[in-house]
Structure 1
Amino acid sequence: MLIIKKIKILYKTIILLKKTNKKIGLVPTMGNLHNGHVKLILLAKKYADIIIVSIFINPMQFNNLLDLKNYPQSFKEDCIILKKHNVDIVFFPCIDEIYPNGIRKQTFVEVPKLSKILEGSARPGHFNGVTTIVCKLFNIIQPDFAFFGEKDYQQLLIIKILIKELNYMIKIISLPTIRLKNGLALSSRNNNLNSKEKKIAPYLYKIIKKTCEEIIKGDNTRKNIIHASKILLIKKGFSIDIFDVYNSKTLENSSENVKKLILLASVWLGKTRLIDNKKILLIH
């Protein structure tokens, strides 16, 4: 397994790989790897000959400096996991390598509209940071495939638009959210939960599931169902940024005649931000 920290060295390595006609798969991460990342790597192996995992905690996508400071790091442990699963290359650049002139002077990439709503509204500039680092990784690595989890649903939609509109010849493969047995979506941020919060956190997905079931039943108005669920979340100890149902393709507030919906949730539990979602298919 190669650990590469410099863009120039990675460029040269990619050029050599391209000459052998090997298919390259990219799994972008911010490190602190968990089983969700492992599942992405295993999925990548079904599509690509060479697997590259990037580890970079991207400061450009953090609008909260405390959140950036608290983001868990575990590079040595991550490398043990990656080596175990026969990853070919780990790209582990420093901040100055990615942003040599600093973040404020960095050219950025923006996907209009979708980057400004929901999570983008709650975290100004967040998605500009995401799309900029993703474009940089695509330009440096030139993968044939890139793999993303569906837990970050809005991010996934934005990246798909970016791929299409910037004419990248890259196939995006997504993986459904990986969960613990108690339903909690796997996330590096879960490590920031204290013991009491870890007992409360699974209620988020339980309430999401219950909400979706009631919306499908249609015995009450969608507005009343959402309102009752929000009250329940607050009683459990969550602070809510986003909890509502949207058109799964556009993320616009859904009208009653839209059949493919998604419930998006973004909440705080103590100092930890948790996001999750669940798709809803209405058949009546």
Structure 2
Amino acid sequence: MRIIETALILRKEIARLRTDGKRVAFIPTMGNLHDGHLALVKEARAQADIVVVSVFVNPLQFPREDDLQRYPRTLQADCEKLSKAQVDLVYAPAVSDVYPHGLAHQTQVVVPPLVSQCDEPHQRTRLRGIATVMCKLFNLVQPDIVFFGTNDHPRFLTIRRLIRDLNYDIALAAIPTVREKTGLALSSCNTLLNKEEKEAAPHLYQVMQTLADMIRERPSAIAESLDNARDDLNRAGFRDISLEICDADDLEAVRVNSEKAVILASAWLGNIRLIDCLHVNMPNPAGSETASPSQ
């Protein structure tokens, strides 16, 4: 496995691989890797000749400076995991390599905001930062296929639209969320939860499962069920709760003809903002139930 720290060397290495006609898979990460990331690597390894992983804590997608400073940096441990997973290239640049002219003068990419959570100011900042760094990374790596988990649905839809609208010739692969036995979605920030918060955190997924059951049984009672779910999370110690049920394809309000809904959840627990989602097959117009919710 080769670790590359500069865009110049990465470009040269990618050009060499392209000359050899290799199929390149790419997994962008911010490090502090867990089994969810390794599941992406495993799938990428099965679908491509070369697997490239970036490890870069992107400052543009952090609305709050203290969140950026608190984010875990574990590059050595990450590289050990990636080497065991047979990754070919790791791009681990400094901020100055990705943004050589500084953040204040960086051209930024704005994907038209999706509704619901994406209309919140912190989400617009986060998704703009994600779109910007993805454009840079796509231009450098030039992958044939890119892999993402599905726990952050607004991010996934943003990247899907980015690839479509900017004519990137890149396939987008979605891998189901990997969860702990408690149901908590694996996240790089979970290591920052204290013991009490770690015990409370799975309640977010439990509330989402309850909402999923409601959608299939009483789709007309969405508003009431959301209010009850927010109250439940408040009692469990969560704050600044954002909980929505939307059409999974565009994050608009669920419609009569919506085939799939998505429950979008984000909330602060201590100093960590947890993000999760759950896809649910909608009942058909006759009211019969479809399959159970996916990951």
Q: What is residue 183 of structure 1 aligned with on the other side?
A: 183
TM-score (norm 1): 0.96
Question: Cα distance, 1:39 vs. partner?
Answer: 0.1
The aligned runs of 1:82-161 (5 Å cut-off) are 82-114=82-114, 117-119=116-118, 121-123=120-122, 124-161=124-161
Partner of 1:253: 253
Q: Which residues of 2 match residues 1-284 of structure 1 at below 5 A?
A: 1-114=1-114, 117-119=116-118, 121-123=120-122, 124-218=124-218, 221-283=221-283, 284=287
**Relative to structure 1, is the Cα distance of residues 232 and 48 closer, same or farther in structure 2, using a 3 angstrom cutoff?**
same
In the TM superposition, what is the alpha-carbon distance from 1:220 to its structure 2 partner? 6.6
Letter paired with 1:37: H
Runs of 4+ in 1 over 4 A off after TM superposition: none
- Give, in angstroms, the shift of residue 66 of structure 1: 0.6
> How far is the alpha carbon of 1:126 from its aligned partner?
1.3
Equivalent residues of 2:113, 2:119 under 8 A apart: no
What SS class does the counterpart of residue 263 from structure 1 fall into? strand
Report the CA distance between 1:113 and its aligned residue: 2.3
The one-letter code matched in structure 1 to 2:120 is: S
**1:245-275 alpha-carbon deviations (Å, 9 max, x no partner):** 0111111122355332111001010110001
8 Å contact from structure 2 (residues 116, 244) kept in 1: no
Q: Is the 8 A contact 1:122 1:241 kept in 2?
A: no
Aligned residues of 2:116 and 2:252 also touching (Cα < 8 A): no
Aligned to 2:243, the other structure's residue is in SS state strand
Q: Distance in 1 between matches of 2:254 and 2:87?
A: 41
For the 8 Å contact 1:50–1:88, the answer to whether it is kept is yes
- 5+ long unaligned stretches in structure 1: none
Residues of 2 paired with 1:176 and 1:50: CA distance?
22
Where structure 2 has 5 or more consecutive residues not aligned to the other structure, the ranges are 288-295
Flag the 1:220–1:248 CA change in 2: closer, same or farther, 3 A: closer
| Partner SS, residue 136 of structure 2 | helix
Amino acid at match of 2:158: I
Q: Which residue identity does 1:118 align to in structure 2?
A: Q
- Give the Cα–Cα distance (whole angstroms) in 1 for the partners of residues 224 and 24 of structure 2: 48
State the identity as a percent. 39
- Contact preservation (8 Å) 2:11, 2:141: yes
Paired letter, 2:138 = F
RMSD across aligned C-alpha pairs, in angstroms? 1.3
Deviations 1:4-28 (A, max 9, x none): 0011111111111001100000000
1:64 positional shift? 0.4
Distance verdict in 2 for CA 1:102–1:219, change over 3 Å: closer
Distance 2:221 2:141 in 1: 48
Letter in 1 for 2:277: N
Question: Counterpart in 1 of 2:293?
Answer: none
Closer, same or farther: CA 6–74 of 1 in aligned 2, 3 Å: same
CA distance in 1, matches of 2:184, 2:232: 17
CA distance in 2, matches of 1:70, 1:171: 33
Give the aligned residue type for 2:29: T
Q: 1:238 is aligned with what amino acid? A: F
Is the CA contact 1:215–1:225 (under 8 Å) kept in the aligned structure 2?
A: no
